[in-house]
Amino acid sequence: MKKLCCLVAGIVLVSSFSAFAIEADTLEDEANVMRQARTADLWFEKWSFKMSRGLINSASFWVEVPRNIYVETKQNAIIGPLKGMFKGLGLSVTRALGGVMDIATFGTVDDTYTIYDQYSVPYFVWQDWD
């Protein structure tokens, strides 16, 4: 019982010190704390988006073939299926490589130059079917 009381007292003591450490003394300190919290949230949001985009594109790259056959046939019924098949094969390789690159580099959240932007490919295969 004595050990349990000491443990609870220690947890309360540590949590009170950490609460005082986070508290800002001035308005500038509070703004800095909020800026750091927003930056961390944005970093995690970008990290999770990049990882999920990589996993989804690595699993659904094969959908590019029927997608492009549909899109190209809608534009030209005669040569569209053949053109869509070859375009779909190329874009499926691009999407698979993009997914693997996203998974491999998910910790770096800089998305200024991605394979999706370079080849004007939508981020996910279900986008832009028109």
The reported pLDDT for the residue numbered 20 is 44
The reported pLDDT for the residue numbered 31 is 59
Rounded to 5°, angle at Cα 114 from 108 and 115: 135
Give the model confidence (pLDDT) of 9-66 as tens digits. 555 554 544 444 445 456 565 555 556 556 666 777 778 888 898 999 999 999 999 9
Tokens coding 101: 């690159």
The full length of the chain comes to 130
More confident residue, 113 or 69: 69
Q: Is 43 a member of any domain?
A: yes
Q: Is 14 a member of any domain?
A: no
Count of domains observed in the chain:
1
Give the model confidence (pLDDT) of 85-102 as tens digits. 999 999 999 999 999 988
Q: Is 71 a member of any domain?
A: yes
Q: Is 92 a member of any domain?
A: yes
The reported pLDDT for the residue numbered 64 is 92
The reported pLDDT for the residue numbered 5 is 53
* 58 φ, ψ (degrees, to nearest 5): -70, -30
Q: How confident is the model at residue 121 (pLDDT cuts 50, 70, 90)?
A: confident
Domain that holds residue 69: 25-118
Q: Tell me how crowded residue 21 is: count the other CB atoms within 10 A of its CB.
A: 7
For the chain, where are the alpha helices, taking DSSP H only?
2-22, 27-60, 64-75, 80-104, 115-118
